[in-house]
């Protein structure tokens, strides 16, 4: 969830571990190239990872004032499923949270009843153990003083990780594997400046208790937040510091700009534009993809990515020809687990290697599409 920007949306839970040949076959047939399959980290392809903040690498909401406990409690309302029975009473259809509904007639508790404070203390008490388990996993290490940038005090008085450890693990793994990569935070919310400060502190000062060797990664952080704004007349305009790139000069320029970024940085996307487009992919965070470019793979990781294009948060803009300027808006299902990853927040909390594996699935699926296109 993106601060207040996504309080009106059902964030979902995240992607299952897809990545087999059957799943990949549904992805874009335009992902063509000549890179051989199986070289994995040694293929030389640069990764540009566009990473959402709230309910992806953060569990809190600065705008609404939700701390870690309330934010996670609220999140559970969006991933637990039921339906109204013939007597007008709510009937649970799941005993555990899940990304997808267990049946075609199931709806999330949030979709039926809206925002509900104290969910796991009331109607959702059956999920209280899930809340407690994941809060325990988010705890800042015992005996270690909380860090002003990297930890946050919950409503229960306990200290929690503000940025998920699985994100820092991803950085370590990418460097270890010799990847050429960049991280671009993409958010509708207001937390970007603080996230950039916190990540910079962890990477430069070695103050993270779980990752004291982060300075050895020698990753740079651009601390200047950028903006991406959209309009019918002006198209898409990206600004950061003195940089300004507009789709009025051709969308290829935006793709080249984002493909050339280094280190870590971020942009605040245009929530009002998404809202004015009924929270559909038409007004979502733009992601430019060139399926003819074997040198760069863009991947967007966001909890609000869904295969339903009427209810998703990213607009994948796929170039139609090598070096061309024209794009089409691709269906989410076409690029799911290739260039689009729906965050599974609970797994991201519980498993430090979660993001690393999700990126690896996208690499494998992208590679398979390159092979199929070349064949």
Domain boundaries, the chain: 3-58+163-374, 68-153
pLDDT 10s digits, 320-347: 999 999 999 999 999 999 999 999 999 9
Distances (CA, A) of 42 to 107, 366, 369: 43, 14, 17
Distances (CA, A) of 340 to 58, 139, 259, 309: 19, 29, 16, 13
66: left (phi over 0), alpha (psi -120 to 50) or beta: beta
pLDDT digits (tens, 9 = 90+) for 239-250: 999 999 999 989
Q: How far apart are CA 35 and CA 368, in angstroms?
A: 9
**Which residue is it, tokens 């245009």?**
270
CA 70, chain centre distance (Å): 20
Return the pLDDT at 199.
Answer: 98
The DSSP secondary structure of 16-29, one letter per residue, reads: -S--SHHHHTTS-T
Closest Cα partner for 344 from 70, 105, 134, 68? 134
| CA 312 – CA 142 distance, rounded (Å) | 38
**What does the pLDDT read at residue 97?**
96
Q: With a cut of 70, list the residues of the chain below it in pLDDT.
A: 1-43, 63, 370-375
The token pair at 309 is 């294009």
Residue 217 CA to residue 172 CA, distance in Å, equals 7
What per-residue confidence (pLDDT) applies to 44? Answer: 80
Characterise 74 by phi-psi region: left (phi > 0), alpha (psi -120 to 50), beta (else). alpha
For residue 32, the number of C-alpha atoms closer than 13 Å in the C-beta half-sphere is: 9
User: Terminus-to-terminus CA distance in the chain, angstroms?
Assistant: 40
């Amino acid at each position: 969830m993106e601060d207040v920007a996504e309080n009106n949306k059902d964030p979902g839970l995240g992607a299952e571990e897809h990545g087999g040949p059957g799943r990949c076959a549904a992805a874009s047939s335009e992902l063509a190239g000549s890179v051989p399959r199986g070289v994995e980290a040694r293929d030389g392809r640069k990764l540009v990872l566009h990473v959402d903040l709230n309910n992806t690498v953060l569990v809190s909401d600065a705008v609404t004032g939700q701390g870690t406990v309330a934010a996670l409690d609220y999140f559970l309302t969006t991933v637990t499923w039921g339906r109204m029975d013939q007597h007008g009473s709510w009937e649970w259809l799941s005993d555990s949270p899940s990304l997808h509904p267990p049946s075609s007639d199931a709806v999330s508790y949030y979709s039926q009843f809206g925002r509900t404070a104290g969910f796991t203390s009331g109607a959702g008490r059956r999920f209280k153990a899930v809340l407690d388990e994941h809060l325990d996993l988010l705890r800042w290490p015992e005996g270690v003083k909380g860090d002003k940038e990297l930890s946050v005090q919950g409503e229960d008085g306990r200290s929690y990780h503000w940025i998920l450890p699985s994100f820092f693990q991803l950085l370590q793994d990418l460097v270890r594997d010799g990847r050429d990569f960049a991280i671009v935070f993409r958010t509708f919310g207001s937390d970007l400046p603080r996230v950039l400060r916190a990540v910079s502190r962890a990477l430069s000062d070695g103050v993270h208790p779980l990752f004291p060797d982060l300075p050895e990664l020698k990753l740079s952080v651009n601390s200047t937040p950028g903006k991406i704004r959209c309009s019918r007349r002006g198209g898409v305009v990206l600004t950061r510091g003195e940089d300004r790139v507009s789709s009025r000069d051709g969308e290829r320029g935006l793709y080249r700009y984002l493909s050339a970024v280094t280190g870590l940085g971020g942009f605040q996307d245009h929530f009002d534009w998404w809202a004015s487009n009924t929270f559909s992919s038409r007004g979502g965070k733009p992601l430019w993809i060139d399926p003819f470019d074997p040198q760069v793979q863009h991947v967007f990781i966001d909890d609000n990515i869904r295969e339903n294009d009427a209810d998703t948060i990213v607009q994948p803009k796929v170039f139609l020809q090598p070096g061309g300027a024209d794009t089409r808006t691709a269906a989410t299902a076409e690029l799911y687990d290739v260039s689009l990853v729906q965050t599974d927040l609970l797994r991201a909390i519980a498993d430090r290697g979660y993001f690393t594996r999700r990126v690896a699935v996208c690499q494998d699926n992208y590679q398979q599409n390159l092979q199929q296109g070349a064949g």
